[in-house]
Amino acid sequence: MAEGTVHFPRGFLWGTATAAHQVEGNNTNNNWWAWEQQEGRILNGDKSGLACDWWGGRWKEDLDRAAETGQNAHRLSIEWSRIQPAPDRWDEEAIERYRLMLRGMLERGLMPMVTLHHFSNPIWLEEQGAWENDDTPQKFAQFVRKSVEALKEYVNYWVTINEPNVYAFGAYVEGTFPPGKKDLNAALPVMVNLARGHALAYWIIHELQPEARVGLSMNYRSIFPAGSSPLDKWVAGFQSRAFNDMFPHAAMDGKLRLIYKTVKIPEMAKTQDFLGVNYYTRDLISFDLRHSGSFFGHRYYRPDADLSGTGFLALEPDGFYEALKWGLQFNVPMLVTENGVEDADDKIRPRYIAEHIMKMWRAVNFNWPVKGYFHWSLVDNFEWERGWSQRFGLWGLDVATQVRIRRPSVDFYAEICKENGLSSAMVAKYCPEVKSKLFPN
């Protein structure tokens, strides 16, 4: 087998990503906290509770760990319901606490990337219809203006909305996110309002901070036809366009291409300074008339797929390369804003990291404009409707005691960050089973 090291460009960002509701704890004033109180909404009846206790101050020790292990950036979100707990009230103490977090990142040598909306809404907004309400984009714009005015001193990279495709499908098609609707007719106006909210946020940020870099983070789900049938190919293409393409294309040309019509949102054109790519896995799909609720597509993993701990994800690094190739069409720099695997035993994670980073290096080696990588996640956190059943952290978490558990992947990722690259020696040490694949003769 070959020996050697592949390196990334100088200044490449290496970090981890978190989201407010998943790590802060006691976010009692948002829709997810209310959702957790309803029976049957969260797997095993789990509740976020203290989460990782970041609001109680444990962000300091977690970010110490990130910095000590070679990371130079961190992506986090801020919680709308903390900053604006009621329609007519701003919480200056909460804003100051976020300022403290961001100063703490800079003091540790971590470049902050801030997400302004990561799935959670204030309860008061949810009661008004959330993103079904055509007034919500303007309300979001007010929150963005207040937040950016307060935090711009510390932040140059802003994500307006995390995975608007996942939010719309989860909350209004699949019904697994609050408010739990399964109504495509409700989902479509939600998508329009999310697009308008992004556009308003983009222009406000640039008004307040002209030098800022602003973008969306999109979940790219690789959807591959299961066979050579024209129907399999049709349904794969249709679902990929519907899920992956809608928002970033609109951020280029101001046209939101919904399933049965195109909505012109001219203010959304050219509102993407970078593209955030979130990638986890790939599906096979076959045309199946029995699956009318999913547009006649039956999605599943390869029978011989390398699966994560609960079978939730398949290790499909080719789909990651496909995601980066897909992102080229938008003609902006790309940042991998999420990539990771749930794995409590840390058996699959080392090879997941190695294989995906090697695919990313291949993309960079072709001069594709990939500028950074944020692993999901720094520490185990509350995984939305799946609760505590999935462990995505480099660091494990004992939820009852708040003790952090150092997994081997902590040290593997640290070596990658410090080297700004991946070596055959690292792979031999942490995941020797894929060394011949990644460093062949």
At residue 293, does pLDDT exceed 90?
Answer: no
C-alpha to C-alpha distance for 419 and 429, rounded to whole angstroms = 15
Task: Indicate the helix (H) or strand (E) that contains 395.
Answer: strand 395-398
C-alpha to C-alpha distance for 416 and 105, rounded to whole angstroms = 20
Q: Which class for 194: exposed (0-12), middle (13-18), buried (19 or more C-beta within 10 A)?
A: buried
Instruction: Report DSSP state, residue 249.
Output: H
Other CB atoms within 10 A of residue 291 CB: 15
Mean pLDDT, the chain, rounded, equals: 97
Could you tell me if 55 and 94 are in contact, meaning their C-beta atoms sit under 8 angstroms apart? no
Confidence of residue 1 (pLDDT cuts 50, 70, 90): low
- For the chain, helix, strand, coil in percent to 5 are 45, 20, 35
Residues sharing a CB contact under 8 Å with residue 401, sequence separation 6 or more, in sequence order: none
Confidence of residue 388 (pLDDT cuts 50, 70, 90): very high
Please give the pLDDT value at position 289: 82
The residue behind tokens 């009661």 is 127
What is the distance of C-alpha 154 from the center of its chain?
A: 21
User: Is the model's pTM score more than 0.85?
Assistant: yes
Confidence of residue 290 (pLDDT cuts 50, 70, 90): confident
Other CB atoms within 10 A of residue 2 CB: 10
Dihedral sign for Cα 226, 230, 231, 233, please: positive
Could you tell me if 345 and 426 are in contact, meaning their C-beta atoms sit under 8 angstroms apart? no
At residue 291, does pLDDT exceed 80?
Answer: no
Strand pairing report for 213-225 and 255-257: unpaired
Could you tell me if 21 and 15 are in contact, meaning their C-beta atoms sit under 8 angstroms apart? no
Instruction: Report DSSP state, residue 56.
Output: I
At residue 61, does pLDDT exceed 80?
Answer: yes
Task: Indicate the helix (H) or strand (E) that contains 93.
Answer: helix 92-107
C-alpha to C-alpha distance for 60 and 58, rounded to whole angstroms = 5
At residue 288, does pLDDT exceed 90?
Answer: no
What is the distance of C-alpha 105 from the center of its chain?
A: 20
Could you tell me if 275 and 332 are in contact, meaning their C-beta atoms sit under 8 angstroms apart? yes
Could you tell me if 215 and 160 are in contact, meaning their C-beta atoms sit under 8 angstroms apart? yes
**Among the ranges given (90-99, 190-199, 221-230), the one the predictor scored with the smallest mean pLDDT:** 221-230
Residues sharing a CB contact under 8 Å with residue 211, sequence separation 6 or more, in sequence order: 156
Domains and their CATH numbers in the chain: 10-409 (3.20.20.80)
At residue 295, does pLDDT exceed 90?
Answer: no
User: Which one, of 16, 13, 61, lies nearest residue 353 by Cα?
Assistant: 16
pLDDT tens, residue by residue, 256-265: 999 889 999 9
pLDDT tens, residue by residue, 38-58: 999 999 999 999 999 999 999
Instruction: Report DSSP state, residue 312.
Output: S
Higher pLDDT: 227 or 65? It is 65
| CA neighbours closer than 13 Å in the CB half-sphere of residue 329 | 12
Identity of the amino acid at 121: N
What does the DSSP assignment read for 115-183?
EEESS--BHHHHHTTGGGSTTHHHHHHHHHHHHHHHHTTT-SEEEEEE-HHHHHHIIIII--STT----
